[in-house]
Amino acid sequence: MEFEIICRTSEDRKHTKILFQVRIMSTPLLLLMLVVEIASLINSEDTQPGEFPFMARLSSYRPHSHWCGGSLISSRTVLTAAHCVEWVDPDNIVVTLGDYALNETGDIERRMGVSQIIVHEDFHHGTFNEPFNDIALLILEEVELEESGYSVISLPTDRSIYEEGTTITITGWGDMGDGSRLNTLQKVEQVLPDQGTCLSYWKGVGLELAEESGIPASVVEETIASGWIDGMLCTGTPPLEKQRFWYGDSGGPLFVQDNGTWTLVSLVSWNTPRRTGIEGLYDFDMSVDVLFYVDWIRRNMV
């Protein structure tokens, strides 16, 4: 029996759809559609203007549009998720710094053009649309940070902030899970779970999807064994009916505060639907482990 997995992609500004067609003996068997979130924060709370001065917003040039989140890590570099910008020409994207309310122009708000997009050279989508190496840099026009009202966030230097039980903050402008979107920047808190428990959970999800799809279980086993979780970080403790990220949050920061300094832990990347329970709920959120990629970031940032 021979299996062939064919991937086709389509994209809009809210999410990326990956369609997999599985064939047996060249006969169409199943069309499986999964969604990678260009992930809003659900059951969130308002931030205060200027509370998170490193927050960046990605959009088109259309006024008050919203696309993804990002983090200012130097005067000219914003860190975001690769799946936010994989099809994008630099001329078609704008980064807003110092933003707070989508439908208002703040005193310190500044819209910046992008001169270069650097997507990780090994970025790709896996068997079930899980993105690998989902990280990218946006090189901005020259920015003067002094007295600007916004500032950079620190990159992590060690694993001390990645311990199980660590509380992290997530910020974004994404929708609320029902198609609505709040005007102001939102925040929620999650905790870091045991990563081994998370890996076991996703392996179970993959095996269930494989069984439903007619894909051999060996495909999932090989994916797990090949380092599927490398560079990714699980956040949240199931069940996550409440605080979590959603459409519009992708690329945004997950971070901690230590002695008054904000440090970036990871970037919003993706989640995969639970196979049971209330439709639309997920058990773990997945983000990009910034420390795993910190050498790549430092080599490519400006």
Domain count, the chain: 1
Which long-range contacts link 124-127 to residues 24+ away (Cβ below 8 Å)?
A: 125/7, 125/9, 125/18, 125/36, 126/223, 126/228, 127/5, 127/20, 127/215, 127/219, 127/220, 127/223
**Percentage of the chain exceeding pLDDT 90:** 37
Name residue 267's amino acid. Answer: L
CA atoms within 13 A on the CB side of 7: 13
The whole model's pTM is what?
0.80
Secondary structure in 3-state letters for 30-44: EEEEEEEECCCCECC
Tokens 């999932």 belong to residue: 220
Q: How many residues does the chain have?
A: 302
* pLDDT(292) > 60: yes
Which pLDDT value is given to residue 176?
Answer: 56
pLDDT digits (tens, 9 = 90+) for 80-118: 999 999 989 999 999 999 887 777 777 788 999 999 999
Which pLDDT value is given to residue 117?
Answer: 97
pLDDT digits (tens, 9 = 90+) for 22-77: 332 222 222 222 333 333 445 566 778 889 999 999 998 776 678 899 999 999 99
Structure tokens at 257: 């505060």
The model's confidence at residue 175, banded by pLDDT at 50, 70 and 90, is low
Q: The domain containing residue 83 runs over which residues?
A: 3-300
Is residue 59 within 8 Å of 67, Cβ to Cβ? Answer: yes
The whole-number average pLDDT for the span 221-239 is 79
Mean pLDDT of the chain: 76
Give the separation between CA 97 and CA 75, rounded to whole angstroms. Answer: 11
* pLDDT(147) > 90: no
Q: Residue 263 belongs to a domain with what CATH number?
A: 2.40.10.120
Which pLDDT value is given to residue 246?
Answer: 55
pLDDT digits (tens, 9 = 90+) for 233-265: 988 766 545 545 555 688 999 999 977 799 999
Cα dihedral 153, 157, 161, 164 in deg (nearest 10): 130
Ranked by mean pLDDT, the top range of 28-42, 124-138, 140-154 is 124-138
